[in-house]
Structure 1
Amino acid sequence: MSFDLGLPVNTALLLYVLYCVQRIILPSASTPKTVPNEFKHSYTWMPRGHPPTLLFKTYTPRTLQPFNGTDNPRILLAIKGVVYDVTAGRSFYGPGGMYANFAGRDASRGMAKQSFDEEMLTDIDQPLDKLEDLTGEEIENMRGWMDHFANKYIICGRLVENDAA
């Protein structure tokens, strides 16, 4: 088999290979040295800043309560022992939001029963709700909410009994 440069296909292929090698070896030779003014302040996909770093922590109902969006700018809530940072959903979970009563609290029973009533919340000085009386449908409801939160918000801790921390 021989390589004949007389054939146009072979010549074109050789020129393309040489061009690619030149781009790899000398990348700056093929890029402009200056950026026109109209492109200096255009859209970029890079974020303006890095989101705040969150440490995975252990919370109790008492230590979770200040993260209600009023006492602290961060908003956390727990479902079945998993603590989520829902600060990005401030309009829903912050003061005046439709889920604001769950902010800084264990929202397990309320999410399972699809109820936002205050009686769905366990007092912060009481033991954690064991959720033993929930039906299979309510448990599935709660799991659905946990999946939703895990896909949308950062898991930042776990919720334990007040005396366990």
Structure 2
Amino acid sequence: MEILPVYSKSQLALRNGQDKPEVWIAYKGVIYDVSLSRLWRNGKHYEHWAGQDLTPELGDAPHDDWVFQNLDVIGKLG
């Protein structure tokens, strides 16, 4: 099993599509890279902003956990 690096919330916050070129989001403790997704242009997807933990917000989304299965895992949220 691969050991993933751990990133803090402040490190995640910098990957918001504005401060650095990377666009990352977290869900259930796992950080995903959405930089190449057309749905996350400029670090925003509908009312959701990159660089943060979206776990509490997914309940309002029109989809479920399956949307994360094809995203690149970057690390864990520590």
TM-score, normalized by the shorter chain, greater than 0.5: yes
What stretches of structure 1 of length at least 5 have no aligned partner?
1-55, 116-140, 161-165
Aligned residues of 2:43 and 2:50 also touching (Cα < 8 A): no
| Superposed counterparts of 1:45-124, under 5 Å | 56-89=4-37, 91-95=38-42, 97-99=44-46, 101-114=48-61
Distance in 2 of aligned mates of 1:96 and 1:154: 16
Sequence identity percentage? 28
Q: Which amino acid aligns with 1:156?
A: I
Q: 1 or 2, which has the higher helix percentage?
A: 1
Q: TM-score, normalised by structure 2?
A: 0.78
Which amino acid is the alignment partner of residue 59 of structure 1?
Y
The structure carrying a bigger strand percent of its residues is 2
Secondary structure class of the residue paired with 2:58: helix
Which structure 2 residue ranges, 5 or more long, are not aligned?
Answer: none
How many residues get paired? Answer: 75
Partner of 2:73: 155
Contact 1:68 1:104 in 2 (8 A): yes
DSSP-derived class of the 1:87 partner: coil
Q: What is the TM-score normalised by the length of structure 1? A: 0.40
For the pair shown, which has the larger CA radius of gyration, 1 or 2? 1
